[in-house]
Chains A and B, each alone.
Chain A
């Protein structure tokens, strides 16, 4: 728990520094080239950039604690509210993405390991090679072209129904499944070469049980951890995919915020995402300790 807190603190500090380090005065950028000095001063006061750095830093940290990142410069609405409004969509997309990844990667990975050098294995290898080379947004565009434009199975853009999420989730999930697949295969292969598998066979257990009960349980352990971390990456991927499919999620929000130099929004956004990512990692750690009998806290 302490580590989580520390991570967020560190990230907030980095965000603070980065924004301050960027050359140029945010106030004048916002005001525009021709603005007159009083307008710039007013904006500075509003932003709080006229105060000394240490005060700004403390104010910043305080606002992070309260989860109050101020108001968006463009829309005037509280940043936190804006983020929370769009978060569910992005999160749903990320979760769907990881589910698809898992559904593809784990069965295929396990089969590849159990039936090594069979055509399952080759299929898996080809799939993972392609998957690693293909970026999710490219896949998204292709799917869009094929399944939306050509075949009209799925809507082109918009949101609101599950159907709108299918293609984006698929693009995310398929593209990133490769990593999980290779890991599953490797983990399974390693477990199958361990001594306890010999014992299981020596007891006369059916091969099916040896593979899918004994070896699999141990093999899934590292896979679970990595899958959890992949969920975090899915979040980032989701933000990009949203552009391809014009989904009104966090991606659009942040992207426009960046174009428009909406500093409060950018700052708040980065800290928020960082926090979610850290939280996911933290949960994965807990999950791991629950699954691994060796380090279960008694």
Chain B
């Protein structure tokens, strides 16, 4: 599937997903908008429980409904709304046009099958390839991800590989069908720092080679800085800010983004206390009314607990949802 660079690849509009559980209703996504373009990496940044994984699962069609219920919204990909296609059609897209890599390759690879088998089966299911040609193709991709030195990896079981190698194998598995979109859910979180850099470089290289769009999910702002072209920050099921990578790091507009950046330790902040955000991330069943960040926000006024701030544009595609942008500010000093 060829597309010229910068064509819209994935567009999510007003996605609202709720989970019906015995304790109540968990409002995981409260109407998010996101658009991704070919050849660029869009990072979705959020902490645990923010809804970032639910988003990726919804795009892949892997949410169990029930208990999940798609309340409203659409996910446009390849000319159709992924939420309204049948499961059989979605299955054809999974692995073929959208690939996905996960956080802990040790757990996400099947221990009972060889790496070769796990790659070739995707090729055979989607392209009907014969075993021999599928194996040859698998070898090609293993070489692309840096595992091609010997044919041995094909016959290795996951537990025989190191963490970094497993992650590379998982990447090979995800892109072997030349998908247009790659979803990466915290792929480097479980890896050592030096490996992390190697894997990020690999992903970027592969993105350029295959002209893919990448939805990169992470909670690590450092990693996000390195890999992304565009960043969306998600908090309690809503996107609170979205902008180009450079803009969001140099001029964060939303208090949450700004505070997050201020709270991260680094050598330059030695000797000062960190600007910590009080309180904790709300769980999806008890989302604060109005702006969900208001209980923790130093700028909050009574209005914030009553109305939900609308998302506004602030030039150059920079979107943010807060009443006080341009009016009140969070100083970097305490």
Contacts and interface: CB of A to CB of B under 8 A. Distances in A.
Are any A and B Cβ atoms less than 8 Å apart in their complex? yes
Interface of A: 194-196, 198-206, 209, 214, 217-218, 221, 293-294
A218 B109 CA distance: 12
14 contacts: A196-B109, A202-B94, A202-B100, A203-B125, A203-B173, A204-B125, A205-B91, A205-B125, A209-B121, A209-B125, A218-B110, A218-B111, A293-B157, A294-B157
A198 B109 CA distance: 10
Contact of B111 (A201, A204, A293): A293
Interface in B78-124: 91-96, 99-100, 102, 104, 107-113, 121-122
A204 B96 contact: yes
Nearest to A201: B62
**CB-based closest 8 A-B pairs:** A204-B95, A203-B95, A204-B94, A195-B107, A196-B110, A202-B100, A217-B112, A293-B157
Nearest to B125: A205
A229 B157 CA distance: 28
Contact of A293 (B62, B112, B122, B126): B112
Interface in B172-188: 173-174
Nearest to A197: B110
B60 interface: yes
B96 A198 contact: no
Contacts of A201: 62, 94
A98 to B, nearest CB: 24
B159 interface: yes
Contact of B104 (A195, A206, A218): A195
Nearest to B114: A293
Contacts of A294: 111, 157, 159
Given A205-B121, A293-B157, A199 B110 contact: yes
B312 to A, nearest CB: 35
A204 B91 contact: yes
A225 B111 CA distance: 18
A49 B121 CA distance: 69
A199 B105 CA distance: 10
A195 to B, nearest CB: 4
Interface residues of B, number: 28
Contact of A203 (B94, B111, B112, B159): B94
Contact of A198 (B62, B112, B157, B159): B62
B102 A198 contact: yes
B125 A218 contact: no
Given A204-B94, A204-B96, A217-B113, A198 B108 contact: yes
B100 to A, nearest CB: 4
Nearest to B100: A202
Contacts of A217: 110, 112-113
Interface of B: 60, 62, 91-96, 99-100, 102, 104, 107-113, 121-122, 125-126, 157, 159, 170, 173-174
Given A201-B94, A204-B91, A294-B111, 18 more contacts: A195-B104, A195-B108, A196-B107, A196-B110, A196-B111, A199-B100, A199-B173, A202-B94, A203-B94, A203-B125, A203-B173, A204-B122, A205-B95, A205-B121, A206-B91, A218-B110, A218-B112, A293-B159
B60 A199 contact: no
B168 to A, nearest CB: 15
B110 A214 contact: yes
Contacts of A203: 94-95, 121-122, 125, 173-174
A204 B92 contact: yes
A77 to B, nearest CB: 51
A200 B96 CA distance: 13
A180 to B, nearest CB: 20
A194 B106 CA distance: 11
Contacts of B157: 293-294
A70 B159 CA distance: 53
B62 to A, nearest CB: 6
A202 B121 contact: no
Nearest to A296: B157
Q: Which of B62, B108, B170: most chain A CB closer than 10 A?
A: B108
Nearest to A219: B112
Contacts of B126: 204
Nearest to A202: B100
A167 B254 CA distance: 76
Contact of B93 (A195, A196, A204, A214): A204
Residue among A195, A196, A203, A293 having the largest count of chain B Cβ atoms under 10 Å: A203
Nearest to A220: B112
A216 to B, nearest CB: 9
A217 B126 CA distance: 22
Contacts of B99: 202
A2 to B, nearest CB: 27
Given A194-B107, A195-B102, A196-B107, A202 B112 contact: no
A199, A201, A206, A221 pick with most chain B CB within 10 angstroms:
A199
B109 A205 contact: no
Nearest to B62: A201
A172 to B, nearest CB: 31
